[in-house]
Structure 1
Amino acid sequence: MAAANMKDVKRRIRSVESTKQITKAMELVASSKLRRAKEKALAVQPFFETLYDIMSGISSDRDFKSVYTKKEPEKSTLIIVIAGDRGLAGGYNSNVLKTAEQRIRRLESDKEKISVMAIGKKSVEYFDKQSYELAGRYPNIAESLDIYEAMDIAQEITERFRCRDFTRVELVYTTFVSALTQQPVEISLLPVENLENGGVKSSSLTEYDPSPEEVFDGLVPQYLGGVLYAAVVDSYASEQAARRTAMESASDNADEMINQLSLLYNRARQAQITQEINEISAGSLRDE
């Protein structure tokens, strides 16, 4: 009986050790991907900060008007939801999808028509099962996304906004706060509003050809592409950080389980040895 129990415990220990090797490898991969994602985000930041400054300077003019700043009475909103492409990342996917669902319900309570653009495999899978109109599906693009692909998506969004397919565009994604903290956030993209002057002192000091409005309208798709790109990269970094934390926790739990099973195995082995000694002693006494 003891031998059979020892064999089961030994098999369980080998199984947990195999699982630990997988979780440890996934932790290392996530750490590497997290570092690269942070480098990508930092590399494009100066360019889009400059775009923001220019747009802020133009829009500070009281006479400025643009189709991208115009608010419409009709309520039709596009929600862009960015989630991960894989699981095993703790509560990363469930948290951002829950945030998006809560935002959608608030908009629906105001009688707004809702469309969803799903970015990330988990986002696509989730909203495919819902009753919302899907304006776009972009699974498995986060790791390989470049700025040109983000610009193409932004161009499609701005064209549909100009055609009034929807009168408002919002974005729900997860921002990287630290290696241990990732926070789902909601931001408004279109119409462009509440731009703060980020360093341009006065738009009157700069001449725009053919006009400030046309320059602004030309910059909006690029700016929107930059925001989307940064959000996808930020979300991807958050996903890797969440996965690294989850896999680190899983590896620690595996260590603890291995220690407990090893103790159980040693006790069973000790009991077997004691039983064998007792049997030998009893046999010796009978021989005498």
Structure 2
Amino acid sequence: MASGNMKDIKRRMKSVQSTMQITKAMELVASSKLRHAKERVIRSRPYFQTIYQTMARIAMDTREGDSIYTKARPVKKSLFIVIAGDRGLAGGYNSNVLKLAAAEMAGKTVSVITVGKKAQEYYAKRDVEVLADYPGIAETMRIQDTHDIVGEMLARYKKGEIDEAYLCYTEFVSPMTQEARCKKLLPLSFDAVEDQGKAKALTEYDPSPEAVFSFIVPEYLNGMLYGAVVESYASEQSARRMAMESASDNASEMIENLNLSYNRARQAAITQEITEIIAGSGQVGS
């Protein structure tokens, strides 16, 4: 009886050890990818901040204009660009951003552009119009890879097929913290920089502020999307590293408990054998 129990424990220990080897390997891979992803995030942020400040200054000069990109209109249909991961085993990374997107979509007539395999799979099972899917692009994303997505969004916005656009992604705050966010892309708004009037100084725009503003808008949105994909990819690797580290720690704890149970079962088996030997020797002596 004890021997059979020991075999079961040994079998389970071997299974947990195999699982821990996998989780350890995935943790190391995620850590390596995270280092490169963090470098991309650091490089992309100054570009986004610069183009945002430039757009804000020009917008202050065109506020009285009639730009299609800043003029609000009645919302009949909304577009959501949802960025999730291409793989699972990343804790709550994918579910958090998808839940946030679902909350933002509530009560609206929406269409979706997905970035990442998990977002593609999620909306394929739901009654939501999917305009395009872009799986497997996050790891090697370049700024020019955003042109097709932004181009389609702007074309539909100009035609009146959509009246507003949102970007749902995960912001990389730190290796321990990732936050799901949903930002409005269209119509553009720069009210948060209203107090930067001093920065708007002696700048002349040729041929006009409105023309320069309209020209820069696609580049601004390309930068927004690229930054969001880069932030999301770094967040995914960070979340996966933490999840795999936690899984490895749990597996190690399970092995310790199983090892303790195995030792107890072995001790019980030895005690039983000694008892049987003593009982047998007593019968022989009598």
TM class by shorter chain equals: over 0.9
Whole-angstrom CA distance in 2 between matches of 1:40 and 1:105: 33
Q: Which amino acid aligns with 1:162?
A: K
**SS at 1:60's partner residue?**
helix
Find the counterpart in structure 2 of residue 76 from structure 1: 77
- Indicate if the aligned counterparts of 1:56 and 1:200 stay in contact, CA closer than 8 A: no
> 1:45-89 deviations in whole A, cap 9, x for unaligned?
222222222211111124333211111224221011111111111
Find the counterpart in structure 1 of residue 5 from structure 2: 5
Whole-angstrom CA distance in 2 between matches of 1:146 and 1:198: 33
* Greater shift in the superposed pair: 4-13 or 60-69: 60-69
**SS at 2:174's partner residue?**
coil
- Indicate if the aligned counterparts of 1:79 and 1:171 stay in contact, CA closer than 8 A: yes
- Indicate if the aligned counterparts of 2:83 and 2:229 stay in contact, CA closer than 8 A: yes
* Greater shift in the superposed pair: 5-14 or 149-158: 149-158
**SS at 1:124's partner residue?**
helix
How many residue pairs get matched? 283
**How much has 1:202 moved relative to structure 2?**
5.1
**SS at 2:204's partner residue?**
coil
> 1:189-244 deviations in whole A, cap 9, x for unaligned?
11111252697845562222222212111111111111111111111111111111
Note if 1:237 corresponds to 2:234.
Answer: yes
**SS at 2:80's partner residue?**
strand
Whole-angstrom CA distance in 2 between matches of 1:166 and 1:16: 51
Whole-angstrom CA distance in 1 between matches of 2:14 and 2:76: 59
Find the counterpart in structure 1 of residue 179 from structure 2: 183
TM-score w.r.t. the length of structure 1 is 0.92
Find the counterpart in structure 1 of residue 52 from structure 2: 52
Q: Which amino acid aligns with 1:158?
A: L
* Greater shift in the superposed pair: 240-249 or 43-52: 43-52
Which ranges of structure 2 fall in alignment gaps of 5 or more residues? none
Q: Which amino acid aligns with 2:37?
A: A
**How much has 1:4 moved relative to structure 2?**
1.3
- Indicate if the aligned counterparts of 2:170 and 2:231 stay in contact, CA closer than 8 A: yes
Find the counterpart in structure 2 of residue 211 from structure 1: 208
Find the counterpart in structure 2 of residue 137 from structure 1: 133
Find the counterpart in structure 1 of residue 162 from structure 2: 166
Change (3 A) 1:74 1:11: closer
- Indicate if the aligned counterparts of 2:170 and 2:232 stay in contact, CA closer than 8 A: yes
**How much has 1:22 moved relative to structure 2?**
0.7
> 1:124-174 deviations in whole A, cap 9, x for unaligned?
111111111112111111111111102332222222212222111111111
> 1:24-57 deviations in whole A, cap 9, x for unaligned?
1111111221221111011122222222222111
* Greater shift in the superposed pair: 252-261 or 70-79: 70-79
Q: Which amino acid aligns with 2:257?
A: Q
Q: Among 235, 250, 254, which residue is 1:253 paired with?
A: 250
- Indicate if the aligned counterparts of 1:53 and 1:200 stay in contact, CA closer than 8 A: no
Note if 1:125 corresponds to 2:121.
Answer: yes
Q: Which amino acid aligns with 2:232?
A: S
Q: Which amino acid aligns with 2:83?
A: I
Change (3 A) 1:201 1:64: farther
**SS at 2:106's partner residue?**
helix
- Indicate if the aligned counterparts of 1:52 and 1:198 stay in contact, CA closer than 8 A: no
Whole-angstrom CA distance in 2 between matches of 1:122 and 1:73: 32
Sequence identity (%): 56
Q: Which amino acid aligns with 2:182?
A: E
Whole-angstrom CA distance in 2 between matches of 1:89 and 1:202: 43
Note if 1:286 corresponds to 2:283.
Answer: yes
Whole-angstrom CA distance in 1 between matches of 2:171 and 2:47: 20
TM-score w.r.t. the length of structure 2 is 0.93
**How much has 1:8 moved relative to structure 2?**
1.0
> 1:98-137 deviations in whole A, cap 9, x for unaligned?
111111114x2xxxx3111111111111111111111211
Q: Which amino acid aligns with 1:155?
A: G
Find the counterpart in structure 2 of residue 31 from structure 1: 31
